[in-house]
Amino acid sequence: MSNAAAPATDGSDRSTPLHVAIIMDGNGRWAASRGLPRAEGHRRGVDALRRVVRASNELGIQYLTIFSFSSENWSRPATEIRDLFGLLRRFIRNDLATLHADGVCVRVIGEREGLDPDIRGLLSEAEDLTRGNTKLNLVVAFNYGSRHEIAKAAQRLAQEVADGKRTPESINADALGQYLDAPDIPDPDLIIRTSGEQRLSNFLMWQAAYSELVFVPIHWPDFDKAALEGAIAEYARRERRFGGLAAKTGS
């Protein structure tokens, strides 16, 4: 994803963000509050994802990035990881045709090395089938961690210096940004985290430099179009200055 986008100067509407990113949190707490197993919370979380993808398309959002599985999630119990991967398999097999028909282009960021071959195959299948779609870009952060992404970019730049292809002085934010997982995707305008937690948890830390952050108390399985519209309304009330002065106050 690219460096922070400049504010619009063409008079275009920015009340709807171009790019929304979501940390889908609270599946386990949703289930626990109802005396249900965590696996049921994750299953209902997939239902919420379907609703939000459909709502994003309807609202004219162009990029939706979801934090589906972090590199830290490997520390969870093996049974829960198995359940999560099973849901991913079913989601792609059952929903890919619908996503494709709805004009959704699927992109995947994160590490694929070490994943089961069938998972890697499903991720590639989703990308290959939907590559030409232009309505909504669904970016799936899977086995993803922002620190690792930034470290990989730094390693590539260091190797270029070692190979004599660039000088240390040529390294700047733009150069590093070009080696992130999806440098062609604009940075998120709005990052939403559900379930009341107020942190990024190693998600898009570089790209979030000028993002508006909205934290909602709703557990992810209960998140719907109305909740998304509420977060967007909060985003629209904010004045994005990108380090500059406020338009009216000069502060």
Question: Could you list the active site residues?
Answer: 25, 73
Give the C-alpha separation, 106 to 91, whole Å: 13
Give φ, ψ of 185 to 5 degrees: -95, 130
DSSP state of 174: H
Q: Which of 138, 115, 137, 141 is nearest to 205 (CA)?
A: 141
Sign of CA dihedral 143, 188, 26, 91: negative
Q: Which of 54, 51, 62 is nearest to 13 (CA)?
A: 62
Q: What angle do CA 225, 226, 230 make, to 5 degrees?
A: 115
